[in-house]
Every structure is written in C-alpha cells, then in structure tokens.
Amino acid sequence: MTETTQDLAILEKLIDSQNRFFNEIGKVVIGQRKILDHMLIALLSRGHTLLVGVPGLAKTLLIKSLADVLDLSFKRIQFTPDLMPSDITGTELIDIDPNTDQRSFRFYKGPVFGNIILADEINRTPPKTQAALLEAMQEHKVTAAGHTYGLEEPFFVMATQNPIEQEGTYPLPEAQLDRFMFNLKIDYPTTDEEIEIVQSTTASVPLELGKVMSIREILSYQDLVLRVPIAENVIEFAVNLVSATRSKNEFSPDFIRQWVDWGAGPRASQYLVLGAKAKALLDGRPTPDISDIRELTLPVLRHRVLPNFNAEAEGMKVDDILNQLLDHFAE
C-alpha cells in the first residue's frame, strides 16, 4: 500500500470519527458547533485552546465532554488565588524505606501529567502559577528539582477564562497567551438552544458518552495534518496577514499603525497554516485554501494583537480591527 493510499484511508477514518464525535457530544452539548469545530482543529494541530466567556455558559462542560468521547486521560486543575506552581507540576517529597530506614527524594507527579488538561478559570490565579504551565505547553516537558519529565502524548491544554473585566482576575502573561493556538469566545445560546438546554438538563438522567477516537488514531491524525500539501500562495497569504498586524511594518495599513501597539509573531503564521490543514481534512478536502486562513484569523490572532489607547478611545475592539484587516486583504 502506497503512502498516498494509506493517507486516504486515514482521512476516511478521520471523517467517520468526526461524524461519531459530533453525534456523541451532541447528546450533552446543545449548539456551540463552531466552538467544537475549532477545538477539534486545535487537537489535530497539536495546539492548545483558551475558552473565554462569562460564568454559566458551559465552558467546563464542553471540555469535559470532549475528554469523555476521546480515549484519553483527563485531569482538571481548578485555578484559585492560593494555587502554587508545584500544585500543577508536582513536587518532591522525602520517602523512607520501611526496611532500611533510608531516606530519599521521590517526585510525585502533578495533574499536568495527563492527555487532556482542563485549566479551569486560569485567570483566577497569580501570574507565577500561570507560568508553571509554560514549559509544559510548549515543550511537553516538566522540570522539577533539576530533573526533566516528559508528558504523555497527545498533550492538550484547554483553559477556561472569565472576561478580564470580572472581579478577582489576573491578566494572562503575553508569553503564555501566545502558547494558545486559539482564543475562542463563547457567546450566550439562542432562545431555542436555551429552551433545549433547560429541557434536557431538568427532565432526564445524564447520558453516558461513547468513545470515538483512540490515542493511536489521534496521533495518526496529527501526523496526517503535517503531511497535507499546501500551496505557496496560501502560506504567503497567512504570513502577509500576520505581518500586517505589526504597526512598525512598512506594509501595514494606516489603521494598524493608528490602533495597534503590538502585532502577532511567527507562531501565529504557523498556527494559521496548521489549522487550515486540519480544517481542510475535516472538510474532506486534500489541501487548504485562502478561505481556511481567513476563517481561522480571529481565533488565532485576537489574543496576539494588542490594541493601543487610541483604539480604546474610539471603541475599537481587537475583533473589529482584525475584521477590518480581513476586508483590507479582500480588496
């Protein structure tokens, strides 16, 4: 069997897994199809996801349901103001051998050692503790007491965050924000969706969700994403779009220089391309096009572009600026 034939077989299996994924998760999650699409894209792209929304919009339920339908270990970290870095990564304790009374240090792994990590209300804890996730998210490793420990693959951090205007929150450091592939905004459900939510949660026993993807299958899908061919003009579009968010770039539009302090870095271009590849596969297409890049622009860039005081004064949000940038590139 040739590599192309093998890849087509994996693609067919991925499409089937995707259909079963939405059938299963639809038993407990009402609506939010676009959010689930992006979470699946991030998983296949080896990216991490930040979900932002006010309390009560089922952010935690979304992530827990995703873990339930995947054959992966699931760990939840509830971020609080008194959470310490060692509460995330693990700690060394003294062990005493009952036979020899010898003492030695032993490392006890923290909740970050899992496949899917739910970092719940990540902006409720101070930056020092938030930063404990940095190495794990980027390197898939944890260093403690001079020793480095590898994390299980696949490793996928999904964090929830309340809007920064809420009381008792700490802004995430820019370095950590950049580690998230997507920043997904969860909005209120429609009236019909809310009626269905109330009916399903007040009149029936919670349903058991079946597993739809194994670890081996997920890893093979992730490898397939890397092998997806992509046209040079699509890559150029992604890079030019990201470059245009930098106010000091001579090719940036005037409104970027007027409203933006800092633009996105090269990691944004990488995630746009990887996400476009994964999206094309999930749509059953052999290669992505520019429309895929455009569709992923907001979730990839909204946490990497920093508006300045002028934008605030004129009521321009980061999504408004990015939409105007997309219009500029459509001309």
Indicate if 5 and 76 belong to the same structural domain.
Answer: yes
CA distances from 140 to 47, 48, 115, 177, 192 (A): 11, 12, 11, 16, 41
Higher pLDDT, 170 or 38: 38
CA distances from 290 to 177, 209, 224, 325 (A): 25, 36, 20, 15
Q: How confident is the model at residue 1 (pLDDT cuts 50, 70, 90)?
A: very low
C-alpha 15/C-alpha 257 separation (Å) is 43
Mean pLDDT of 32-56: 88
Mean pLDDT of 169-187: 85
Indicate if 273 and 291 belong to the same structural domain.
Answer: yes
Number of separate domains in the chain = 2
Residue 172 DSSP class: P
- Evaluate if residue 79 carries a pLDDT over 80: yes
Domain of 157 in residue numbering reads as 1-227
Last residue of a domain, one of 170, 200, 227: 227
Indicate if 211 and 243 belong to the same structural domain.
Answer: no
CATH of the domain at 29: 3.40.50.300
Indicate if 219 and 246 belong to the same structural domain.
Answer: no
Mean pLDDT of the chain: 85
Last residue of a domain, one of 196, 227, 258: 227
Indicate if 216 and 243 belong to the same structural domain.
Answer: no
For 211-222, the pLDDT digits (tens) are: 888 889 999 999
Per the structure block, which two tokens stand in for 112?
């970050």
C-alpha 65/C-alpha 209 separation (Å) is 8
Last residue of a domain, one of 187, 211, 227: 227
What are 193's strand-pairing partners? none
Mean pLDDT of 112-121: 89
Mean pLDDT of 37-46: 92
Indicate if 165 and 259 belong to the same structural domain.
Answer: no
Indicate if 36 and 120 belong to the same structural domain.
Answer: yes
Lowest mean pLDDT among 19-23, 164-168, 181-185, 323-327: 164-168
In contact, 100 and 54? CB cutoff 8 Å: no
Indicate if 163 and 291 belong to the same structural domain.
Answer: no
CATH of the domain at 323: 1.10.8.80
**b/e for 15-39, b at 16 or more Cβ within 10 A?**
eebbeebeebbebbbbbbeebbbbb
Predicted local confidence at residue 103, as pLDDT: 78
Predicted local confidence at residue 122, as pLDDT: 87
Q: Whole-model pTM?
A: 0.88
Higher pLDDT, 39 or 161: 39
